[in-house]
Amino acid sequence: MEKTVTSKQMLGELLEKHYKTAIDAKAEGKLVAWATSICPQELLETMGIDVVYPENHAAAIGARKDAMRFIQQAEGKGYSNDICSYARVNMGYVDLKFSEAENIPMPDLIFCCSNICNTAIKWYENLAKVLNIPIIMFDMPFNHTFDVPEHSIKYMAGQIKHAIKQLEEITGREFDYDRFKEVMEISADTARWWKKATDLNKNHPSPLNGFDMFNYMAIIVCNRGKIEGRDLFKLWHDELAAKVEAGIGPWKDQEEKYRIMWDGIACWPHLGDTYKVLKKHGVNMVTSTYPESWTVIYDTGDIEGMAKAYASNYANRNLDYGTKNVARLVKEFDLDGILYHSNRSCKLMDFRQYEVQRRVEAMTGIPSVVFDGDQTDPRVFTLSQYETRVQALIEMMEKNKELRRNG
């Protein structure tokens, strides 16, 4: 009898394979790259270069509560505690090179795209300088206009073409444009299945608790250009669709009472605490601004379309776009409230967060609260503050429900 593999089992197997393959490649003398989380990975996949993602790795170290010794190592060398904690964990790892949580090989190439934040530029430039290795940098201008301007698309497309030449020089091999088209098709398909799966949370009840989405995010970062990544998200979608059909909600022992959006990255060192407080009150995180960040979809062979897709990342869009996007999520996912994570590491998102909150509340009327935390630095989060803010959100959401019940 054929054994049935669940998407959760497949997720674990793919992550284990991802790290092992990179370590084996390094041991065999093959080129290994470190890349930012939303970069044109299609180029590296086409060239057969093994890639690991320091942000993913730092999140794994944070979730397994091993971040502090890397953070202290980086801060001991003079890196400020105001710098992104992913960067501090990674710079500490460059020195210590071992974590009980997970390990990655040292890179031979740095591959950076600034569409996630400007910190990434200096972080990755610093890595290239410290390790004395080449860097390929994609300068992605911030979109100060609502739509991505044509000149940005052409600027980015030119950089993609230039990066292909740089990769040919670094590897000594010709770029295979037929393989490139295959990888583009797989990558766009993977993004479509990721979007279809996470969109199933629009149903009542949602078939998924949103914290599981955080776990699956690891694979959309590192396996977007691989067939097994696409297969994982198709399987995950089918499992969730079956739950929707059967009317099964996010938990076996509890009903979904409130539906919220979580804004910002997870507090990885406090993932269990933040999840349990919400679940205790029947609060389900059904969406976030993150699913669309990896919905990088374009037509196969269309480099300008690919450039536009990478330039369209939520973090790279202006305040008006950010506000309208969150208001759209409120409507499409039928939200009762929003929980804003004021992530000390993420200055780009936090500096505009209170204004987004004010505008979205004015547009939609749904309540929200902000709590202080950090994606990897455990010192910034306080459980009592988090519980108090969640309790306040629940009281406001319940009052709104009562008003609706009373007409």
SS (H, E, C) 309-325: HHHCCHHHECHHHHHHH
Per-residue confidence (pLDDT) for residue 290, from 0 to 100: 77
> Tokens for 46?
């086409």
Per-residue confidence (pLDDT) for residue 204, from 0 to 100: 96
CA distance 242 to 235: 11
Indicate the average pLDDT of the chain: 95
Find out whether the peptide bond into 205 is cis, omega within 30 degrees of 0. yes
Q: Which of 115, 114, 77 is nearest to 93 (CA)?
A: 77
User: Which residues touch 388 (CB under 8 Å, ≥6 apart)?
Assistant: none
Per-residue confidence (pLDDT) for residue 375, from 0 to 100: 96
The percent of residues above 70 in pLDDT, for the chain, comes to 100
> Tokens for 297?
């979809």
Per-residue confidence (pLDDT) for residue 291, from 0 to 100: 77
Per-residue confidence (pLDDT) for residue 192, from 0 to 100: 96
Per-residue confidence (pLDDT) for residue 2, from 0 to 100: 67
When pLDDT is averaged across residues 56-72 and rounded to a whole number, the result is: 96
Per-residue confidence (pLDDT) for residue 407, from 0 to 100: 75
Q: Give the pLDDT confidence of 139-161 residue by residue, as tens digits.
A: 999 999 999 999 999 999 999 99
User: Which residues touch 178 (CB under 8 Å, ≥6 apart)?
Assistant: none
Q: Give the pLDDT confidence of 302-357 residue by residue, as tens digits.
A: 999 999 999 998 889 999 999 999 999 999 999 999 999 999 998 888 889 999 99
> Tokens for 7?
């998407």
Q: Give the pLDDT confidence of 238-258 residue by residue, as tens digits.
A: 999 999 999 999 999 999 999
Per-residue confidence (pLDDT) for residue 1, from 0 to 100: 60
For residue 109, list its beta bridge partners.
Answer: 33
When pLDDT is averaged across residues 123-138 and rounded to a whole number, the result is: 97
Q: Give the pLDDT confidence of 206-232 residue by residue, as tens digits.
A: 999 989 999 999 999 999 999 999 999
For residue 370, list its beta bridge partners.
Answer: 340
